[in-house]
Chain A
Amino acid sequence: MAMSGFEGFEKRLELRFCGDDPVTADNNLGLRLLGFESLEQVLDAVQCTVVSAVANQYFDAYVLSESSLFVYPTKIIIKTCGTTQLLKSIRPLIHHACNLGLTLCSCRYTRGSFIFPKAQPFPHTSFKEEVIYLEETLPTDLCYRKASVMPSKTTTHSWHVFTASDQSHLIPNDMYTLEVCMTELDRVLARKFFQPPGGTKSGDIAGKEMTKITGIGDINPRAMICDFAFDPCGYSMNGVHNDRYSTIHVTPEDGFSYASFECVGSIFDDDIEHLVGSLRKAVQVFRPATLSVSTTCASHEVWPRVAHALEPLGLKCRSCAADEFPAAGSVVFQTFTARRK
């Protein structure tokens, strides 16, 4: 393990807003009315920039210099890696949303364990500091709060969750989120995420090539992909299909290699089995030695499919921890390692 390097493990923040004013139903755009200038201010606070973006009638998706941002009418999701101070986005977002007549009704913050925890700036120096910061920043009407560190068999791989909700948004809806974190990537496969030597191509052209040669484009063929290759290595993509997003971020360097895959769906989806196929394809792109999956869902039909998807790939489930959180529902944290041959 390297002494220091780029931190692949992301911090993820999901904020949900509601409008008091039924007038907002007229254009249904909600947070999308924030406008790019306001978003830039928010990203500035977090120290990220936009490298690629696309929108459809449901939401806006941005690929950032350090991960991704998704803006829906009533929810915003920011996922950042490296040493970004993600929680600093909360105050400006609440402020800008307020100008649009929207108030914060729930918040979810999740992350794995940092590979280089000492390199993180305040308040990300420890989960305790992050929770204190969240407690101080969130408005008091988000009165239902819970923080928990979900364990695995090793202390180096835990899943940290903080959620807060107001009175009316305690019960989660039908959407689930899958957050997959992969480490110790197969070296040969990871090399595909380095720009070829002898002239670096433009980030989006190189990104498209990586999407194709790695098979990432086949994970969900129906999705529109917004991809970007970093210099000299690294890759990010957002997949957009109707109101669903998926996102992949890769730090390929040996010694601290990392890849994340995140996707959403509904428990009412007819093709929930499709999830098994997508998860398998995503993991096969990287063939990691260790991986964790955190499933956030109102009910319990999604997380069992995860083990079912991964075990045929030679990944054995080593731990499974479950807990309930306000507004989020159940969070199930499973870790897997490749079976020794």
Chain B
Amino acid sequence: MAISSLSATTIPSLNTRNSTSNYSSKLSSFSSLQFPAQLHRLQFRNGGVSSHSRPRNLPLVAAKKQTFSTFDELLQNSDKPVLVDFYATWCGPCQFMAPILNEVGAVLKDTIQVVKIDTEKYPSIADKYKIEALPTFIIFKDAKPYDRFEGALTKDQLIQRIESSLNVKQ
């Protein structure tokens, strides 16, 4: 599965998945749902998503499960540790990181896989990992959170952080 699918507006991999037709039609409505802007405030206020911020016209369990298994599948299928950047489009420090992540992804392409998750589009994933500050980076090893740090960094700092995290803890 392409990494970019997670940060795209739709979730194309799901449409091609062998799911029931009912299920995928509900999911496609999920991807086109517009979250009102106030939602992102509600989500973070208590460090988690409050129940009334979830879309009402979707089976909650199904949508959540499918989103997770997509992300979880990416984690499971990866042969390398995965660096996940939790960001928001409106976050200045996250914009600062964008070119840096591209460079670091290229430099460390044999060490780590870089994935970006838009916390506005995937609030349930952001909630699961209790994302409050942006950007938040989580390094997943063997599909589990291994290291976590918050805030933007310069390229050299990020490379050093990733390398020392993966080396020392072994």
Total inter-chain residue pairs, C-beta < 8 Å: 82
Given that A29-B90, A35-B95, A36-B92 are contacting pairs, would A50 and B156 also be in contact in the complex, using a CB cutoff of 8 Å? no
Instruction: Tell me the A residues contacting B by CB distance below 8 Å.
Output: 26-29, 32-37, 39, 50-57, 60-62, 71, 202-205, 224, 226, 240
Partner of A55, one of B45, B133, B156: B133
Chain A residues positioned under 8 Å from B88 (CB to CB): 55
Q: Do A56 and B132 touch across chains, with their CB atoms under 8 A apart? A: yes
Distance in Å from the Cβ of B14 to the closest Cβ of chain A?
28
Look across to chain B and name the residue whose beta carbon is closest to the beta carbon of A57: B44
What are the interface flags for B135-170 relative to A under an 8 Å C-beta threshold, 1 for contact and 0 otherwise? 100000000000000111110110011001000000
Any chain A CB within 8 A of the CB of B129? no
Partner of A53, one of B41, B96, B161: B96
Chain B residues positioned under 8 Å from A33 (CB to CB): 90
Given that A56-B44, A204-B161 are contacting pairs, would A51 and B154 also be in contact in the complex, using a CB cutoff of 8 Å? yes
Any chain A CB within 8 A of the CB of B134? yes
Look across to chain B and name the residue whose beta carbon is closest to the beta carbon of A208: B149
Instruction: Please classify the interface of chain A as helix (H, G, I), strand (E, B), loop, or mixed, using the class held by over half of its residues.
Output: mixed
Q: How many residues from B make CB contacts under 8 Å with A?
A: 28
Any chain A CB within 8 A of the CB of B40? yes
Any chain A CB within 8 A of the CB of B61? no
Distance in Å from the Cβ of A273 to the closest Cβ of chain B?
25
Any chain A CB within 8 A of the CB of B91? yes
Chain A residues positioned under 8 Å from B90 (CB to CB): 27, 29, 32-33
Q: Do A203 and B157 touch across chains, with their CB atoms under 8 A apart? A: yes
Given that A50-B96, A240-B133 are contacting pairs, would A55 and B157 also be in contact in the complex, using a CB cutoff of 8 Å? no
Q: Do A202 and B161 touch across chains, with their CB atoms under 8 A apart? A: yes
For the complex, give the distance between the alpha carbons of A60 and B88 in Å: 12
